[in-house]
Amino acid sequence: MSDFDLKVREQDGVIVLNTNGYLNNFGGEQIASLCLQKISEGQRKFLVNLEKTEMVNSIGVSILIEVIEELQGVNGKMAYCNLAPIVEKTFNIMGISKYAKLYTNEEEGLLDLNT
């Protein structure tokens, strides 16, 4: 059983996902599954708060690329905030930050996603 869980809420028109634990394939699938469901319901803005995720792996992160691809087709946006330095570096190496903005904190992300 993987040590990962996800809390979801909607704030100011943005779906905010708070992760907790190691973002592996199961974590990536949980995030992707939820985002794809919300996209099908018409949601277009997503902010993933990784404050409680100290470590990721490339399989988990690569699953998130599917969400970026899906959002590109509907003019949606995906962003991340509160990344640990190693997670930010991983996102930069993989090029995630080219297609999803990285914010210092949730407030900054929510503000920018709504401008």
Partner 1 sequence: MTTQTPKVELTLPVIQDMELAATKTAEVVAKQMGLDEMKTAEISMALIEACINAFEHSKSDSNVYIHYIIDGDTLIIKVGDSGVGFDQEVVEIPNIDEKLKADRKRGWGIKLMKELMDTVEFESTDGGTTVTMTKTKQ
Q: What are the residues binding partner 1 (CB under 8 A)?
A: 2-3, 22, 24, 55-59, 61-63, 65-66, 68-69, 72, 84-86, 89-90, 93-96, 98-99
Q: How far is the CB of 36 from partner 1 (least distance, A)?
A: 14
Beta carbon nearer to partner 1, 2 or 20:
2
Q: Identify which of 81, 72, 13 has the alpha carbon closest to the alpha carbon of residue 41.
A: 13
Q: Identify which of 92, 76, 98 has the alpha carbon closest to the alpha carbon of residue 15.
A: 76
Beta carbon nearer to partner 1, 2 or 43:
2
- DSSP conformational letter for 20: E
Distance between CA 1 and CA 21 in Å, rounded? 12
Beta carbon nearer to partner 1, 47 or 64:
64
Q: How far is the CB of 71 from partner 1 (least distance, A)?
A: 11
Q: How far is the CB of 103 from partner 1 (least distance, A)?
A: 19
Q: How far is the CB of 115 from partner 1 (least distance, A)?
A: 25
Distance between CA 15 and CA 70 in Å, rounded? 15
- What residues contact residue 53 under an 8 Å CB cut-off, 6+ apart? 19, 20, 21, 22, 23, 27, 84, 87
